[in-house]
Structure formats: structure tokens, C-alpha cells
Structure 1
Amino acid sequence: MAKVKVHIFLKPGVLDVQGKAVEGALNGLGWTGVSNARVGKMIEFDFDGDNADAEVRKMCDTLLANTVIESYRIEVE
């Protein structure tokens, strides 16, 4: 059984409204060195099957990520 983590972020150039809100809040609280904040999501699950990398990539392309505006990175342990 493999432990899988999928990290999903908006692609560069896509406006990240949540990232801008986090950046503004941190700046407002005194952390003025923070810039270009991006907010993403991480999906973690166990996978019991063959060829985890290829299967998880299919999952991402089919359901987990909107590949038009999002990119993803897969970790399989």
C-alpha cells in the first residue's frame, strides 16, 4: 500500500484571490516581507494498487485537479 500526497496549486498567471488575501493580512499584521502568496490544497490518501504514479496522475487529470488552471505535484511513499 502506498501513501499518496497530491499538492495542487493555481498555475502561474492565474489570479489567486485567496493568496492575495493571505498576503494582505500578513502584511497588515506586520510581516511586510511576505509577497506572492499562493494558496493551494493537499489531498492525502492510501492507494492499494499497481503503478501508483500513473494511476494517481490519471486521478488528477480526471477529477482531483482542474488542469486548465491548476498544476499538481504527486508524492508516493
Structure 2
Amino acid sequence: MTIYHARVEIRLKPAHVDPEGQTTKKALTDLNYRVEDVFTAKVYEIDLDAPSLDKAEELVDEMSRKLLANPVKDDYEFEVREVK
């Protein structure tokens, strides 16, 4: 088998309020930065063993759907690359 490294980014869907992003935007504006908007995201770095890149991507997508992202409020994207 081969080791793959995945980077999964989870963000709130556009219709959901991002209170942490809004607070950060206000703080940056108060510091005289001209910011349009600020959004927060969670990032997961995962190393996994899989027989192929396609299978690794399939597994990461499954992990994201089943555990990492809440389908009601979150969108996710990921990238997978071979490391060993």
C-alpha cells in the first residue's frame, strides 16, 4: 500500500452566519484594515494508507461526508497527494 496525505477544508455554507468571521472582520476594520469580509474554516490534515490515489480520494470524501462536515451547514473540499 501507499501513504497519501489529504488536506480537507470545511467551511460554512453561504447561507449560514459565521460569527467568528464577523468578529474578526470588525476587529480588522477597527484596526483600519479595509476588509470586505472574513470567513473561517477548519482544516484537517490526514495521512492514510490506500492502494491507489483514486481509492484515497474516495476514502477522504467518505470521511468528510460521514464525520468531518455537517451536510446541513458545511461545504468541504479536499486534495490528496502521495507521500510514500
Taking structure 1 as the reference length, what is the TM-score of the superposition?
0.93
What one-letter code is carried by the residue in structure 2 that aligns with 1:57?
D
How does 1:1-77 map onto structure 2 within 5 Å? 1-31=3-33, 33-50=34-51, 51-77=55-81
Which of 1 and 2 has greater Rg?
2
* Residues paired across the two proteins, number: 76
Cα root mean square deviation, aligned: 0.8
What one-letter code is carried by the residue in structure 1 that aligns with 2:50?
G
Gaps of 5+ in 1: none
Percent of aligned pairs sharing the same letter: 34
Cα distance in structure 2, aligned partners of 1:16 and 1:44 = 22
Deviation at 1:35, TM superposition (A): 1.9
CA offsets 1:9-60 (integer angstroms, 9 cap, x no match): 00011100000011001001110x2122110110001011130111111101
Gaps of 5+ in 2: none
Cα distance in structure 1, aligned partners of 2:46 and 2:57 = 13
Runs ≥4 in structure 1, deviation > 4 angstroms? none
